[in-house]
């Protein structure tokens, strides 16, 4: 190997190392796979932060001490529930794609825009309750809820039970969790 090749190899190794470090720092790595669709650490972190803020506010409103959420057990449980919800959201999205192709996206966007127009204080509420901007609130909360409602409506028209479908879909889904503190038991995410 010549000196020039050694320098190039060293530069490639360094660039790869820096890129890997940045990816880990930003959470751009998979935490779970759901039927070959990945859920990244970044999306888990974002939804965890919103859920954590929501529960803090709920405890404040109820007169309880929000510091109860600062325990390791509480944080682990919120993370577990967050990943479980993200898995359910992926299964719902996949079913809508199979049933309606891309038609459901326009329906969801229209419903969300109507909802935002009818609720003038939604931006302020999203910030105060979840700590999210309106755009993030739309992506993390409103879109998954709209998709769920669309699927529930289609299933209702076909005389199908959404809860039974979701239970069966979860038990038959190919879920692989890569996080060392969580595991998939065939129906839901559990703590290890």
Phi-psi region of 29 (alpha: psi -120 to 50; beta: other; left: phi over 0): beta
pLDDT above 70 covers a percentage of the chain that reads 98
Q: How far apart are the first and last CA of the chain?
A: 48
Strand 189-191, strand 175-177: pairing: unpaired
Asked if the model's pLDDT at residue 23 lies above 80, the reply is: no
Mean pLDDT of the chain: 91
CA pair distance 56, 35, nearest whole angstrom: 33
The b-or-e profile of 176-187 (16+ CB within 10 A means b, else e) is ebebeebebeee
Asked if the model's pLDDT at residue 150 lies above 80, the reply is: yes
| Stretch 38-45: mean pLDDT | 95
- 66: number of Cβ within 10 Å: 16
Tell me the pLDDT tens digit for each residue of 49-77.
999 999 999 999 998 888 889 999 999 99
């Amino acid at each position: 190997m010549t000196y020039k090749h050694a320098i190039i190899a060293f530069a490639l190794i360094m660039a790869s190392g820096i890129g890997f470090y940045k990816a880990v720092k930003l959470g751009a790595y998979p935490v779970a796979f759901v039927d070959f669709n990945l859920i990244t650490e970044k999306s888990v972190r974002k939804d965890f932060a919103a859920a954590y803020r929501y529960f803090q506010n709920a405890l404040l409103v109820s007169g309880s001490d929000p510091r109860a959420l600062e325990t390791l057990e509480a944080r682990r449980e919120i993370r577990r529930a967050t990943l479980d919800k993200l898995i359910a959201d992926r299964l719902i999205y996949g079913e809508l794609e199979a049933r309606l192709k891309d038609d459901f996206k326009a329906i969801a966007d229209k419903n969300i825009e109507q909802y935002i127009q009818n609720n003038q204080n939604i931006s302020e509420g999203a910030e105060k309750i979840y700590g999210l901007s309106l755009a993030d609130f739309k992506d993390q909360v409103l879109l998954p809820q709209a998709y769920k409602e669309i699927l529930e409506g289609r299933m209702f028209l076909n005389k199908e039970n959404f809860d039974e479908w979701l239970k069966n879909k979860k038990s038959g889904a190919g879920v692989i969790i890569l996080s060392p503190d969580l595991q998939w038991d065939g129906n839901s995410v559990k703590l290890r």
